[in-house]
Structure 1
Amino acid sequence: MLCFYIPDINTPILLLSGSHSTSKTTTARKIKSLVDPAVVDVISVPSKEDDFAAALSNNYLVVFDNSDKINRKASDLLAIACTGGYTSKRMLYSDNNLVSISLKAKMIITGIGDIVSKPDLAERCNPIYLVTISDRKTEAMIWQEFNNIKPKLLGSIFNTIKTGLLYLNEFSHIENAPRMADFVQYGAAFTKAMGLDPQAFITEYSNGNAEIVQGCNSSDTLFALLLRFLGNRNGSWRGTARNLLYDLEQYAKSAGIAFDLPLSESSLSRKLNSERNALNSLGILFEKHKGSKREIILSMADSRPTPIPKRIKVEGSDLPFDEQFELDTKEF
Structure 2
Amino acid sequence: MSDDEKNPAREVITNYAQSHFRYFRTADGTVYAQKNGHPVARPIRSQGTTGSHRQELMVGLYRDGHGVFNGTALKEALDLIEALALTEDVQPVHIRVAPGFDGATWLDLGRTDGQSVRIHPTGWDIAIPDPREVCWRRTQLTGELPLPVKDTDGKGIDLLLRLCNFAGAETECLAIAWLIGCLGPSVPVPAPFLTGPQGAGKSTGGRMLVRIIEGMSGDLRRAPKDEENLIAAVAAGWVTALDNLSHMTPDLSDAMCCIVTGAENVKRALYTDGDVVRARYRRPMLLTGIDVGVIRPDLAERLLPLRMERPRVRRTEAELWAEYAEALPVILGSLLDLTVKVRAAEAETPTDLRMADFAHLCAQLDAATGLGGLAAYRRSLDDLNDDVIEGDLLAQTVLKHAEAIEPGGEQRMTSTEWLYCLSRLYSGDDMRPLPKGWPTTGKVLSDRLKRLQPTLAARGVLIESGRTSEGRYLEMTHLQTPQPHEEKRMF
TM-score by length of 1: 0.81
Task: Give 1:269 deviation, angstroms.
Answer: 1.8
1:174 equivalent in alignment to 2:346: no
1:263 equivalent in alignment to 2:437: no
4+ residue runs of structure 1 moved beyond 4 angstroms?
88-101, 232-236
1:276 equivalent in alignment to 2:464: no
Task: Give 1:227 deviation, angstroms.
Answer: 2.1
Mean CA deviation greater in 212-221 or 7-16:
212-221
Q: Could you say if the C-alpha distance between residues 6 and 269 of structure 1 is closer, same or farther in structure 2, counting changes exceeding 3 Å?
A: same
- Residue aligning to 1:324: none
Note the alpha carbon deviations across 1:215-266, whole angstroms, 9 max, x for none.
1133112112222333356686431111111222333333525314322212
Q: For the Cα contact (< 8 Å) 1:82–1:106, is it kept in 2?
A: yes
AA partner of residue 250 (structure 1): R
Alignment of 1:281-296 (within 5 A): 281-293=458-470, 294-296=472-474
Task: Give 1:83 deviation, angstroms.
Answer: 0.6
Among residues 403, 409, 424, which one is paired with 1:231 in the alignment?
403
CA distance, structure 1, for counterparts of residue 481 and residue 334 of structure 2? 51
1:85 equivalent in alignment to 2:259: no
Task: Give 1:134 deviation, angstroms.
Answer: 1.8
- Structure with higher helix content: 1
CA distance, structure 1, for counterparts of residue 313 and residue 386 of structure 2? 34
1:62 equivalent in alignment to 2:240: yes
1:28 equivalent in alignment to 2:200: no
CA distance, structure 2, for counterparts of residue 274 and residue 140 of structure 1? 46
Question: Identity over aligned residues, as a percent?
Answer: 24
Mean CA deviation greater in 267-276 or 106-115:
267-276
Q: For the Cα contact (< 8 Å) 1:174–1:185, is it kept in 2?
A: yes
Q: For the Cα contact (< 8 Å) 1:56–1:62, is it kept in 2?
A: yes
Q: For the Cα contact (< 8 Å) 2:216–2:325, is it kept in 1?
A: no
CA distance, structure 2, for counterparts of residue 253 and residue 274 of structure 1? 23
Q: Could you say if the C-alpha distance between residues 115 and 132 of structure 1 is closer, same or farther in structure 2, counting changes exceeding 3 Å?
A: farther
- Residue aligning to 1:48: 226
CA distance, structure 1, for counterparts of residue 294 and residue 363 of structure 2? 26
CA distance, structure 2, for counterparts of residue 147 and residue 192 of structure 1? 31
> SS in structure 2 opposite 1:127?
strand
TM-score by length of 2: 0.56
AA partner of residue 228 (structure 1): K
AA partner of residue 257 (structure 2): A
Mean CA deviation greater in 58-67 or 226-235:
226-235
Task: Give 1:141 deviation, angstroms.
Answer: 0.9
Q: For the Cα contact (< 8 Å) 1:217–1:282, is it kept in 2?
A: no
Q: Could you say if the C-alpha distance between residues 232 and 88 of structure 1 is closer, same or farther in structure 2, counting changes exceeding 3 Å?
A: farther
Give the RMSD, CA atoms, in angstroms. Answer: 2.7
AA partner of residue 128 (structure 1): L
Note the alpha carbon deviations across 1:162-221, whole angstroms, 9 max, x for none.
222221xx11x334442211112223323443x324xx2111111102211331133112
CA distance, structure 1, for counterparts of residue 379 and residue 295 of structure 2? 18
- Residue aligning to 1:139: 317
1:240 equivalent in alignment to 2:414: yes
- Residue aligning to 1:221: 393
Task: Give 1:147 deviation, angstroms.
Answer: 1.6
CA distance, structure 2, for counterparts of residue 275 and residue 96 of structure 1? 40
Q: For the Cα contact (< 8 Å) 2:262–2:282, is it kept in 1?
A: yes
CA distance, structure 1, for counterparts of residue 282 and residue 337 of structure 2? 27
CA distance, structure 2, for counterparts of residue 107 and residue 119 of structure 1? 18
Alignment of 1:88-237 (within 5 A): 88-89=266-267, 100-114=278-292, 117-167=295-345, 170-171=346-347, 173-193=348-368, 195-197=369-371, 200-231=372-403, 237=411
> SS in structure 2 opposite 1:66?
coil
Q: For the Cα contact (< 8 Å) 1:116–1:122, is it kept in 2?
A: no
Q: For the Cα contact (< 8 Å) 2:395–2:452, is it kept in 1?
A: no
CA distance, structure 1, for counterparts of residue 476 and residue 378 of structure 2? 25
Task: Give 1:87 deviation, angstroms.
Answer: 3.8
Q: Could you say if the C-alpha distance between residues 190 and 262 of structure 1 is closer, same or farther in structure 2, counting changes exceeding 3 Å?
A: same
AA partner of residue 45 (structure 1): A
Alignment of 1:315-330 (within 5 A): none
Bigger Cα Rg: 2
Mean CA deviation greater in 275-284 or 69-78:
275-284
Q: For the Cα contact (< 8 Å) 1:32–1:61, is it kept in 2?
A: yes
CA distance, structure 2, for counterparts of residue 303 and residue 164 of structure 1? 34
Q: Could you say if the C-alpha distance between residues 250 and 184 of structure 1 is closer, same or farther in structure 2, counting changes exceeding 3 Å?
A: closer
CA distance, structure 2, for counterparts of residue 150 and residue 140 of structure 1? 15
Among residues 428, 434, 437, which one is paired with 1:254 in the alignment?
428
Q: For the Cα contact (< 8 Å) 1:3–1:187, is it kept in 2?
A: no
Note the alpha carbon deviations across 1:93-115, whole angstroms, 9 max, x for none.
99798654434211110000355
| Structure 2: stretches of 5+ with no match in the other structure | 1-178, 483-491
Note the alpha carbon deviations across 1:285-315, whole angstroms, 9 max, x for none.
21223112323222332499xxxxxxxxxxx
